[in-house]
C-alpha cells in the first residue's frame, strides 16, 4: 500500500513542478530551470524516504575534493537521476539529442545544458560533439555524469562498458569518480511497484588522470561492479537476493579493446 501512496505523491509532485517548469523554460534562463530540477530531485528523494519508507545511504562523499569533474555511475532506476540531482543539481549528463524536439519537455532539456548524442547516428561519428559538450560543461564548473552502459540495469546485471567515457576522461585530463549503487532495490527500473528497502549510493576512490584506455576501462568496470554487487548483497533481503544474477562475478570483466 505504501508504494501506491508514494506513486500518487510522486506523480502529483512531478506534474505540479512540470507545470511550473515548462513556462519558466520558455521565458527564463538556464538557472531557474536547474533550480526547479533540484527541487524535483530533492522532493523525490524526500518522498522515497518519508512516504515510501526506504533507506538511502550516501557513502564516500569524503572521497570527493569539492565538486567532481567526472562522475561515472551505475544506472539502475529513475531514482539514480533524482539522487544525483539532489547532490549535484548543476550536473550535465549525456542525453539524447532527440529530446530537444519533444513538445514541452524539449525546452526543459535544453535549459538543463546536457551533452547531446543522437540515438540514430553512429556513436563514433558523434565523438567530437560529445567532447565539445564535455568541455563546455567542465568550463562552467559543472560535474559531468555518464552511465557507461548506456541504459538501465537491474541489480547484479551488467552490459559492456562503452569506451566513450575514456575519451572524455582523457580529453579533459581530469579524475574519474566511479559510483556504485543499489537503488534498484527500492525503485526497480520502469516498475510501478517500489519497495521500502535499504539502498545506497557510494562514491568510490577517484581514478587519477592519465591511464591508457584498456587499463582505465578495466579498472573502472572492476571498481563499479565489485562495489555495486557488494551493496546489493549487503542490503537485499534473502528472498530477493536469490533471484539476482551477478554477471560480473560469473563472467568477469566484459571490457575488450
Digit-coded pLDDT (tens) for 167-188: 999 999 999 999 999 999 999 9
Smallest CA-to-CA distance from 255 within 218, 201, 223 is with 218
- 11 domain residue, yes or no: no
| Confidence check: pLDDT of 147 > 70 | yes
Give the pLDDT of residue 50.
Answer: 96
The Cα-based distances of 206 to 54, 63, 185, 213, 252 in angstroms read 28, 7, 25, 16, 21
In a domain, 6, yes or no: no
- Supply the pLDDT for residue 240: 87
pLDDT of residue 33: 85
> Do 64 and 106 form a contact (C-beta atoms < 8 A)?
no
Taking a C-beta distance cutoff of 8 angstroms, is the pair 232, 156 a contact? yes
pLDDT digits (tens, 9 = 90+) for 72-98: 999 999 999 999 999 999 999 887 776
Highest-pLDDT range among 3-17, 62-76, 205-219 = 205-219
For residue 204, give its domain range.
55-251
Residue 12 lies in a domain: no
Nearest one of 202, 190, 193 to 56, comparing CA atoms:
202
For the chain, percent of residues with pLDDT exceeding 90: 53
Q: Is the dihedral of CA 146, 163, 137, 132 positive or negative?
A: negative
Q: What is the pLDDT of residue 24?
A: 82
Residue 230: what pLDDT?
Answer: 94
Look at residue 42 and tell me if it is in a domain. no
Residue 221 lies in a domain: yes
84 assigned to some structural domain: yes
Of 146, 107, 143, nearest to 130 (Cα)? Answer: 146
CA–CA gap between residue 195 and residue 203 (Å, rounded): 23
Can you read off the three cell numbers belonging to residue 236? 537485499
- pLDDT score for 207: 95
Crossing angle between the packed helical segments 30-47 and 105-112, to the nearest 10 degrees: 100
43 part of a folded domain: no
pTM: predicted TM-score of the whole model, two decimal places: 0.89
d(CA 163, CA 210): 15
pLDDT of 48-60, one tens digit each? 999 999 999 999 9
Q: How many domains in the chain?
A: 1
27 within domain boundaries = no
Average per-residue pLDDT for the chain: 87
The pLDDT assigned to 57 comes to 95
In the prediction, which pLDDT does 83 show? 96
Amino acid at each position: 500500500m505504501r508504494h501506491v501512496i508514494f506513486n500518487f505523491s510522486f506523480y502529483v509532485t512531478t506534474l505540479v513542478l512540470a507545470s511550473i517548469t515548462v513556462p519558466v523554460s520558455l521565458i527564463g534562463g538556464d538557472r531557474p530551470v536547474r533550480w526547479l530540477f533540484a527541487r524535483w530531485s530533492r522532493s523525490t528523494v524526500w518522498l522515497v524516504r518519508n512516504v515510501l519508507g526506504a533507506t538511502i545511504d550516501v557513502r564516500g562523499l569524503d572521497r570527493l575534493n569539492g565538486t567532481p569533474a567526472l562522475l561515472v555511475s551505475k544506472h539502475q532506476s529513475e531514482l539514480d537521476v533524482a539522487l544525483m540531482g539532489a547532490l549535484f543539481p548543476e550536473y550535465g549528463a549525456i542525453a539524447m539529442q532527440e529530446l530537444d524536439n519533444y513538445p514541452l519537455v524539449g525546452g526543459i532539456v535544453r535549459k538543463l545544458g546536457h551533452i547531446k548524442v543522437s540515438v540514430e547516428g553512429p556513436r563514433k561519428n558523434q565523438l567530437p560533439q560529445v567532447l565539445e559538450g564535455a568541455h563546455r560543461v567542465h568550463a562552467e564548473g559543472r560535474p559531468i555524469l555518464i552511465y557507461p552502459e548506456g541504459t538501465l540495469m537491474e541489480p547484479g546485471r551488467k552490459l559492456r562498458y562503452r569506451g566513450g567515457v575514456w575519451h572524455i576522461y582523457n580529453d579533459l585530463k581530469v579524475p574519474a569518480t566511479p559510483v556504485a549503487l543499489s537503488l534498484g532495490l527500492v525503485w526497480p527500473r520502469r516498475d510501478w511497484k517500489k519497495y521500502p528497502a535499504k539502498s545506497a549510493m557510494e562514491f568510490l576512490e577517484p581514478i587519477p588522470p592519465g591511464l591508457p584506455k584498456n587499463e582505465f576501462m578495466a579498472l573502472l568496470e572492476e571498481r563499479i561492479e565489485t562495489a555495486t554487487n557488494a551493496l546489493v548483497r549487503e542490503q537485499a533481503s534473502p528472498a530477493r537476493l536469490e533471484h539476482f544474477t551477478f554477471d560480473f562475478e560469473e563472467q568477469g570483466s566484459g571490457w575488450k579493446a
